[in-house]
Structures are given as C-alpha cells and as structure tokens.
Amino acid sequence: MRNIWTVLASLFIAFQNDCCCNGQQDFNDKADPPQSNAPDWMASIEDRKLVSHITIPGSHDTMAHSGGPAVICQAWTLKDQLMVGIRYLDIRMNGRSEIVHGISKQKAHFADVIKITQEFLKEHKNETVLIRVKPEWPYKKRVKKGVQTVIQGYDNIIIKSNIPTMGEARGKIVLVQKEQFDLGIPIHGTDKAGDYKVVDIDKKKDKILIHLKEAMNQCGRDKVILSYSSGTGFGTIKGMLLSPKRVAREVDPWLYNYLEDLEKNILREESCFGVIAMDFPGFDLIQTVIKLNR
C-alpha cells in the first residue's frame, strides 16, 4: 500500500503546476543568473571571530537541480549560489563521487564542486566556503576515499577538526563533518529525525523557530550549528503534494519577515545562528541571513 501511495504522489506532483514564480526576492525558482550579488560579504567579519560564531546562509541539497519536483531543491547553479552569498554547501555523494539526491544523479561530480568553489575563492579571497559531504548509504568509506582523492594537492582545504578563525579560513574551503563523514570541523544539527517531513506548513514553521532558538543558544562553541528551513511532504500521505519547492514558496517569505524583525528589534550584538540551510532562497532572504552578523 505504501508503494502505491508513493507512485500516486509522484504522478500527482509531476503533473501539478510547480513552476510558477514569485515576484518577490525572498524565494527564487528561476534558473536565470541573479540580478544582484554579494560575493564579498565576509570581508566585514573580524579575523579573530571563529567560523562557528558566524551566521551563514547555506543551501540544502546544493546541487539538486534535476530529477523532478520531488527531488529538485535549488534553481541557481553552484556558481550563482556563491555569488549571491551562500557559504555552506550540502553535498550528497555516492561511491563513484557522483553528486546525488537519493537515487537521482545530478550530472556532476565532487571534483566539479571543488573546481567551481576554488575558482570563486581565487577571485574572492576574503571569503570561506563550508562544504559538508554526506555519503548516501552505504558508501561511507568509498565517499571518504573519493573526497581525499579529489582534494589531494590543494593547500587551501581545511580538513582538521579544530574550529578556525575567520582569518585562518579566508580564501579556503572548510570541510564539515558529522557522523557519516569524519574529515573537517564538527557540526551539530538542530533538526531531529523526521523533522524534514512536512504535512502542515504552520507546524514546519514552529519547528524552524525551535531550531533557531536552539541554534542561538549553542552558536559560537566548539561546533558549527546547522538548522534547516527546508522540507518535503513526499513520502507521506497527508503531505504528498508538498514538494520542496511548494514548502519553500511558503516558508521562505515567512522566514525572511521573521529574520528581518529579529535583526531590527531583538537580536543582541553577540548573537549568532550558525548555518541556516534553505531550499530556493531568494537574494533578499540570503541578505537577511547575512545581516544577522553584527
């Protein structure tokens, strides 16, 4: 019965009009190059500040551009994401160093991610880019070996677990590690198991608020804190029509307004939130995350 529902959900999502665009800039589902950019926003961050004490806009499933509405999480290319200010990349890999989202291959390899990021950092030396590699089960050992092969010879990729300062990380890639992958600095996710599943948008927003509160309380310590605003109802019965884009279309404008109010009225000077990883973020939303760095 579960397989039948999954198939029906796939068909229904495939035929729904999931391509309409938002005239605002807090949500973006257009693949066109962005009209605005923020390639050097980290230049204003003090050299002494730890990378774990910065609020960083990130993309969830950074390279998920193809495979249908249930799979696609981003509209902009990796280069465009970097140009608009994204500094945390969420990379899912299989044992052949191919970028994937679940079983859907994304027509790119890990070497492509490193090449594009290195080209960006060569032109924008004040920036740093955090990359989390998440092996798709059961490829943990093969993924680590593949990563080590690709980054061999680069002297600007940090793989040690010590949290670097911004001064130490400028012009460099910082690998980020969790349970499945042990190269780079440690990261703590505020999401609990299953929080990515969305059957009610308002309940998803409530979870995001809880995660951001936890992030603010823990940010600046010996781990990078990670929170997701992304989600999908695919794989559930009640939320089967909630593709990542449909969730983001409602969540992104709400998150933009919430963070704008927070930044203007509540936030303390020393506050931070770590990484906020998003689906289909628009330029204004990314800028609002950046502005949380005071």
Q: Is 119 helix (H, G, I), strand (E, B) or coil?
A: helix
pLDDT at 112: 98
Mean pLDDT on 98-104: 93
CB 252 within 8 A of CB 278: yes
- Would you say residue 121 has pLDDT above 50? yes
Max CA separation in the chain (angstroms): 56
pLDDT at 75: 98
Mean pLDDT on 13-27: 58
pLDDT at 19: 47
Residue positions counted in the chain:
294
Q: Which of 5-9, 43-47, 158-162 has the lowest mean pLDDT?
A: 5-9
The pLDDT confidence band at residue 18, using thresholds 50, 70 and 90, is low
- Would you say residue 36 has pLDDT above 80? yes
Round to the nearest angstrom and report the end-to-end CA distance of the chain.
52
Query: What does DSSP say about strands 275-278 and 185-189: parallel, antiparallel, or unpaired?
Result: unpaired
pLDDT: which is higher, 239 or 114: 114
- Would you say residue 5 has pLDDT above 70? no
| Cα–Cα separations (whole angstroms), residue 182 to 49, 133, 134, 161 | 24, 10, 10, 9
Closest CA to 77 of 28, 31, 137: 31
Segments of 66-207 assigned E as strands: 88-93, 98-101, 104-109, 128-135, 157-158, 172-177, 185-189
The pLDDT confidence band at residue 21, using thresholds 50, 70 and 90, is very low
Q: Which of 104-113, 126-135, 267-276, 282-291 has the lowest mean pLDDT?
A: 267-276
pLDDT at 16: 47
Q: Give the fold, CATH level 3, of 2-16+37-291.
A: TIM Barrel (3.20.20)
The pLDDT confidence band at residue 48, using thresholds 50, 70 and 90, is very high
Predicted TM-score (pTM) of the model is 0.92
- Would you say residue 134 has pLDDT above 50? yes
The pLDDT confidence band at residue 263, using thresholds 50, 70 and 90, is confident
Q: What percent of the chain has pLDDT over 70?
A: 92
pLDDT at 189: 96
pLDDT at 24: 65
The pLDDT confidence band at residue 141, using thresholds 50, 70 and 90, is confident
Q: Which of 148-162, 190-204, 264-278 has the lowest mean pLDDT?
A: 264-278
- Would you say residue 288 has pLDDT above 70? yes
- Would you say residue 8 has pLDDT above 50? no
